Amino acid sequence: MQTLTITTPDDWHLHFRDNEMLAETVPATARCFQRAIVMPNLVPPVVNAEMAVAYKGRIEAARPNGSSFEPLMTLFLTNQTTPQDIVEAKQAGVTACKLYPAGATTNSDAAVKGIQALYPVFQAMQEQGLLLLIHGEVTEHHIDIFDREKVFIDTHLGPIVDAFPRLKVVFEHITTADAASFVAGASEFVGATITPQHLLLNRNDLLVGGVRPHNYCLPVLKRNTHQKALRDMVASGNNKFFLGTDSAPHAKHKKENACGCAGCYSAWSAIELYAEVFEQLDAIDKLEGFASHYGADFYGLARNTTKMTLVKESWTVPEQVTLADGTDMVPFFAGQTLQWKLEKAFQA
């Protein structure tokens, strides 16, 4: 039996949601990740330090007994966010702020309209050392959905990086060769997360043979040439790219709907999905850097000191999971067989 032991990984982008969802989503992540950057797009969104501290408390209360999992909190930027909000967030231990263009994804209607209006906030973030996490898509209806990431780079991301050269920016869940190239060529203050779905799938997996709602996410899956560019980048071991699942749980009936929700609930098998990718790429030796080292380094945090062991053992992702209130959710890759399985986590 083959085994793979790596430093305990972190997830640098995920959604726990809130309330009854936490009893499912927090343990699913805490089974293998030491830390996670928690997205703030709740209803209402987490817009200040007080709300972030309260949300962190709810997450910690949902951890399994004895778990040392640490949620890293973020603020949801709006046009009402002030530099003083940034100072207070830093004092409260908030790690980063999230920029959603209004309407870009789930629960983002309250987000930013007119990104340049946030430049004083970005300046405060640069001064305070809070990271800027960006959902990098424009939302104008006349822009084709498959082009929105590239247009965002040209219209907004490039100018932000130029205007704030010492502001750490994470271009989250990148999906295109354009994004990979931009990050690779940018300064050491720019990094990116890549999800399992954008490494494993392309838009054929969403549309061929009928629409597959559980593969629908935003940014939407792109053509296979973009998928290849992302796969080539992680296989290269470039340390500007690191693990961020964008795990996004939704009730089954909200995904399988005439207007289905965007998001893939990948936490249930996240590290195994990434191992699948890296083995396909004949780059399993690069998994530890991507999953366990590069994100912590970019965020300026210590690497984890415990270890995780995966074994080469086939297993099948469940068809669905059921919340305590009876709500069903379909995990990403439901019913499919994976070749790597978590054996032990948090080993000394």
What are the tens digits of pLDDT across the range 177-214?
Answer: 999 999 999 999 999 999 999 999 999 999 999 999 99
- Provide the token pair at 39: 């997205």
CATH (one of 3.20.20.140, 3.10.129.10, 3.30.230.30, 3.40.50.1100) for 10-305: 3.20.20.140
Binding residues: 13, 15-17, 41, 98, 135, 173, 218, 246, 250, 262
Domain ranges of the chain: 10-305
Nearest to 130 by CA among 73, 185, 194: 73
Look up tokens 């999971």; give the residue.
Answer: 321
Query: From the CB of residue 57, how many other CB atoms can be counted at a distance below 10 Å?
Result: 11
- Whole-angstrom distance, CA of residue 190 vs CA of residue 197: 22
Is residue 246 annotated as part of the catalytic site, yes or no?
A: yes
pLDDT for position 286: 98
Q: Among residues 10, 85, 178, 246, which one is catalytic?
A: 246
pLDDT for position 223: 98
This prediction has a pTM of 0.96
- Provide the token pair at 63: 């951890």
Binding residues for Zn(2+): 13, 15, 98, 135, 173, 246
Q: Average pLDDT for consecutive 10-residue bins of the chain (348 residues)?
A: 93 96 96 98 96 98 97 96 98 97 70 87 98 95 95 96 98 98 98 98 97 96 98 98 97 94 95 98 98 98 98 96 88 97 96
Q: Please tell me whether residue 270 adopts helix, strand or coil conformation.
A: helix
**What is the per-residue pLDDT across 261-293, written as a single tens digit (0 to 9) for each?**
999 999 999 999 999 999 999 999 999 999 999
- Provide the token pair at 304: 């984890």
- Whole-angstrom distance, CA of residue 327 vs CA of residue 140: 34
Q: What is the CA radius of gyration of the chain?
A: 19
Residue type for 134, please?
I
- Whole-angstrom distance, CA of residue 135 vs CA of residue 186: 17
Look up tokens 């930013």; give the residue.
Answer: 112
- Whole-angstrom distance, CA of residue 169 vs CA of residue 52: 20
- Provide the token pair at 267: 């936490």
Residue type for 197, please?
Q
Nearest to 42 by CA among 117, 122, 109, 131: 109
For residues 98 and 60, the answer to whether their CB atoms sit within 8 Å is no
For residues 267 and 30, the answer to whether their CB atoms sit within 8 Å is no
Helices first, then strands: H and E counts in the chain: 14, 14
H helix or E strand, kind and range, residue 36: strand 35-38
H helix or E strand, kind and range, residue 121: helix 119-128
Binding residues for substrate: 15-17, 41, 135, 218, 250, 262
